[in-house]
Amino acid sequence: MNLDLTEEQELLRSTVRDFARERIAPIAEELDREHRFPYDLVRELAELGLMGMTIPEDYGGAGADTVSYALAVEELTRVDSSVAITVAAHHSLGTLPIYYYGTEEQKREWIPQLASGEKLAAFGLTEPDAGSDAGAARTRAELCDGGWVVNGSKMFITNAGTAITACVTITAVTGDGEISNLIIPNGTPGYEIAPPMQKLGWRASDTRELAFRDVRVPEENLLGSRGQGFRQFLEILDGGRISVSAMGVGLAQGAYDLAAKYAQERQQFGKPIAKFQAVQFALADMATEIEAGRNMVIKAAWLKDQGRPFAKEAAMAKLYTGELSHRAANAALQIHGGYGFMDEFAISRLYRDQKILEIGEGTNEVQRMVIAKHLGL
C-alpha cells in the first residue's frame, strides 16, 4: 500500500495552494461582503486548467485523475468556499453529465468551451417540492413536433445565471414514472433565471431559481437515453459527493489554520492561549479528524479512478467531512472568542460557509440512507 502522492499530484496541490493564498485570500472577504461573483478568478483558474480537470485533453480538459481534482478542491476551499463551489459545481455537476452521457455531437458542441473554462455549466435537479426526494420532480418535458417543450422550475441551482454560463442540464418527467435529462442553453425563450439568491454563506457564488415556461429545445438535446435520467443523476451525485467531501476537509483545514495561528498570537494570562491545554486539545482533535477525513476523500477518489465501486465510500466521506467541518469551524471560532464573531475575522466567513456542506449534494440524513442501503440494511 502506497499512500504517497505522485509528483504530479504534489505539484498540482502546491500550485493551487499558492494560487489560493496569493490571489483568492486577499479578496475573499470583499467578494463575500459584496456578494460578487469572482469572474476574474474564474478566468485565472481556467488558465491553470482547473475548470475541466478530469476531462480528457482531446476535449480541452486537463486529463487529470479524481484524486488530483479532490486535492485542488480542498486547497481552494481552505481559503474560500465560494470559489471552490463554483469550480466543483461547474465540473462535477455541469460538465461531467454531458461528457458521461452525451452523444459525440453533444460532447463536441459543449465540452471544449466548458472544459476550458471559457463558459460555465449548471445542473438543475432540486425543485421547490423535490429536494431529498429528487424523484418527486414535477418539471415536465413533452415531445412535440420534433422538440421538447419544458415546463416547471428548479431551486438552488449553482452557476446557472452568470454572464458566462452556457447551459443547464435539467431533470424532467418525460412520461409516467420516467425521468430524463435535457440540455437547456442559456438564452432559450421561456427559460427565466431569477436574480441571485441571498444566502447565509457561499455569498460570492451564483445561486438561482429557474423557471421554464413552454421552453422548446431540439429533440437531440436529450442527454443519453430517454428514461435514464434518474440513474444518471444518482451516478452524478456519487461523484459530486467526492467534491463536497473535499470541500469539507478543506474548510476544516482552513479553520484549523486560522485557529492555530490566532492561538499563537493571542495573549491571555501572560502567555499565548496556545500554551493552554484546553486549546491544545481542541487543535489536536481537529488535526486528527482532518487527517481521517482527508484519507476518506482520497480513498473514494482513488476507487473512482480505478473504475471500482465508490458510491458507499463517497457517501461516507461526504457524511463524515460535513460533520467534521461543523466541529472544526465551531471549535476554531471558539478559540477566536469574541473576535471570531466579527466579520473582519475570516473564521466568521468559514463558519457561515460550513453549514451547507451538511445539506448540499444530499443531507446528512440522506447520506446515512445511502450508506445503509450499501450495507444491505
Distance of CA 248 to the CA centre of its chain: 10
Q: How far, in Å, CA of 322 to CA of 245, rounded?
A: 7
Cβ neighbour number for residue 305 with a 10 Å cutoff:
16
Q: Which amino acid type is present at position 124?
A: G
Q: Specify whether 265 is catalytic.
A: no
Q: How far, in Å, CA of 204 to CA of 158, rounded?
A: 11
Q: Hey, CA dihedral for 322, 324, 328, 330, is it positive or negative?
A: positive
Catalytic member of 74, 289, 313, 361: 361
Beta bridge partners of 179: 173
Q: What is the DSSP letter of 344?
A: T
Closest CA to 173 of 125, 110, 218, 207: 125
Q: How far, in Å, CA of 367 to CA of 353, rounded?
A: 20
In this structure, what C-alpha cell is assigned to residue 137?
Answer: 420532480
Q: Which amino acid type is present at position 92?
A: S
Tell me whether residue 296 is exposed, middle or buried, using C-beta atoms within 10 angstroms of its C-beta: 0 to 12, 13 to 18, 19 or more.
buried
Q: How far, in Å, CA of 353 to CA of 347, rounded?
A: 10
268 φ, ψ to 5°? Answer: -145, 145
Whether residue 325 contacts residue 251, with contact meaning beta carbons closer than 8 Å, is answered with: yes
Whether residue 190 contacts residue 212, with contact meaning beta carbons closer than 8 Å, is answered with: yes
Q: Which residues belong to the active site?
A: 361
